[in-house]
Amino acid sequence: MIKVMCAASALRALLAAVLLLPVAAWAGGDATAGKVKADTCMGCHGIANYANVYPSYRVPKLGGQHPEYIVSALKAYKSGERSHPTMHAQAAQMSDQDMADIAAFLSAAPQAK
């Protein structure tokens, strides 16, 4: 009986620790490598007020975004499922590891206001 309670307690502690991991840990990517690889992304997604001068449009805020969403979006741009010429050109050159690394970095980046 005591062994069962100890095992259950250990399992609860392990589950709590896993659930408290940062989102970036689930991305399967390397946030340090992603910071370097995301340099090009920051030209549009990291500018003040998230608005480009030309062409004039607002871009999505990616800091704090779920890594799975970022990877899914990049894969859709790469395949052509999502249509945006600039994003297609960027994603077309990325490997799955590049996407995971960028997602790990951006998901851990502060959310812009």
Residue 9 in domain: no
Residue 19 in domain: no
Which residue range is the domain that position 84 belongs to? Answer: 24-108
The radius of gyration of the chain from alpha carbons, rounded to an integer in Å, stands at 18
Residue 97 in domain: yes
The domain total for the chain is 1
Helix (H, G, I), strand (E, B) or coil at 58: strand
The model's pTM is 0.69
pLDDT one digit per residue (tens) for the chain, 113 residues: 565 455 556 556 554 444 444 444 444 899 999 999 999 898 888 766 555 566 566 778 888 899 999 999 999 999 999 999 999 999 999 999 999 999 999 999 877 66
Residue 1 in domain: no
Residue 59 in domain: yes
CATH code, domain with 47: 1.10.760.10
